[in-house]
Structure 1
Amino acid sequence: MSRFSAEVELTLRNAGWSSDRKVDIKQWKELLSGFTWHAIAERFLQEFGGIRVDVSGPGVNCAREPFEIDPELAVGEEDRFAQLSNLFKRKFFPIGEVGRGEFFLAIDEEGFIYLLSAWALRIGPSDVALDHLIRGVAAERLDPPVEG
């Protein structure tokens, strides 16, 4: 069984992805040293880093927007990522942007992908999230954990 539907796999392949892809992330590790790296972010960027997916139009239940997997797009946003990580008790690491920079894409230490701006919206686990971004499935608003 394939990781992705035929439509999603074709879209990813057209953007430069392949299942055996392995990007050197050394330059990103140096440039983004102000962020908290974790193994999940490293593995995701090695496989998907540097691709740009050009989708548009209506989706399943929200508009499909282009997105880019490039953590450099968040340089200078270390404080925002730290604040949101603190608020939601997650280790958000930047992996790119959606649309024209309206949202950052972030991945947490469990492999879930989020849209971040002033708030966090969960898209899903990495493969599901890529499917949802490509097909236009709305993200769910994340609520901060209740202190107890």
Structure 2
Amino acid sequence: MPPLSASTQSLLIKAGWQPGRHIITLRYRLALSLEGYPWLPVVEKFLSEFGGLRITFPRYDGTDTFHFDAADAAAGIDVYWVQKNYAQRLGTDKLCVIGEAYGSHLLLFMSDTGKVYGGYDDILCFIASSGEEAIEAICQCKPTQDIPDLE
């Protein structure tokens, strides 16, 4: 993992994170399983360090938020849409919700390879190759890569 920038680390610390943080993820595992998502080892690892955090970051002329409460995020979305539309567009059946960004408008999910994507209705984008890189990308307002809809 590339190191997080000092500004991103500062935002994470304000949200309650610290290096070596480890939480029990049973709540997320149960909620996601009930919603029909696969529990992936890479998701377990990521949520054990960042689960439950709500991060506020500067964005353009104000601030915005994202969070890693996977149970809350999964409860507000149709699993069929993620597992069929998004998964089909990405060529994988292994996607798991990890949180939400931009005022809870963008669903965040991770593949079994650790890549992080965002989705909102027909919009699907690649955010980063790992959870940590996704945190950095969101905090630093880096552009995402659009993934086209199926024809």
Q: Per the shorter chain, which TM-score range?
A: 0.7 to 0.9
Q: How does 1:1-148 map to 2 (within 5 A)?
A: 3-33=3-33, 34-58=36-60, 65-72=64-71, 73-75=73-75, 76-83=77-84, 84-90=86-92, 91-117=94-120, 118-125=122-129, 126-143=131-148
| Alpha-carbon distance in structure 1 between the residues aligned to 2:125 and 2:64 | 15
| Alpha-carbon distance in structure 2 between the residues aligned to 1:110 and 1:144 | 21
| Alpha-carbon distance in structure 1 between the residues aligned to 2:19 and 2:147 | 30
| Alpha-carbon distance in structure 1 between the residues aligned to 2:149 and 2:44 | 25
Assess, with a 3 A threshold, how the Cα gap between structure 1 residues 64 and 112 changes in structure 2: closer, same or farther: farther
Question: Which stretch has the larger CA shift, 103-112 or 79-88?
Answer: 79-88
Q: Could you tell me how far 1:64 is from its partner in structure 2?
A: 6.2
Q: Could you tell me how far 1:31 is from its partner in structure 2?
A: 1.5
Whether the 8 Å CA contact 2:56–2:64 is kept in 1: the answer is yes
Give structure 1 stretches of 5+ with no counterpart. Answer: none
Q: Identity percentage over the alignment? A: 22
> Structure 2: which amino acid aligns with 1:111?
G
Assess, with a 3 A threshold, how the Cα gap between structure 1 residues 65 and 139 changes in structure 2: closer, same or farther: farther
| Alpha-carbon distance in structure 2 between the residues aligned to 1:116 and 1:66 | 16
Give me the TM-score of the superposition, normalised by structure 1.
Answer: 0.85
Question: Which stretch has the larger CA shift, 83-92 or 14-23?
Answer: 83-92
- Total equivalences in the alignment: 143
Deviations 1:39-68 (A, max 9, x none): 111111111000001123329xxx863101
Whether the 8 Å CA contact 1:88–1:143 is kept in 2: the answer is no
Deviations 1:52-85 (A, max 9, x none): 01123329xxx86310111112225211211111
Q: Secondary structure at the match of 2:81?
A: helix
Q: Secondary structure at the match of 1:56?
A: strand
Whether the 8 Å CA contact 1:88–1:144 is kept in 2: the answer is no
Q: Could you tell me how far 1:19 is from its partner in structure 2?
A: 1.9
Regions of 4+ moved over 6 Å: none
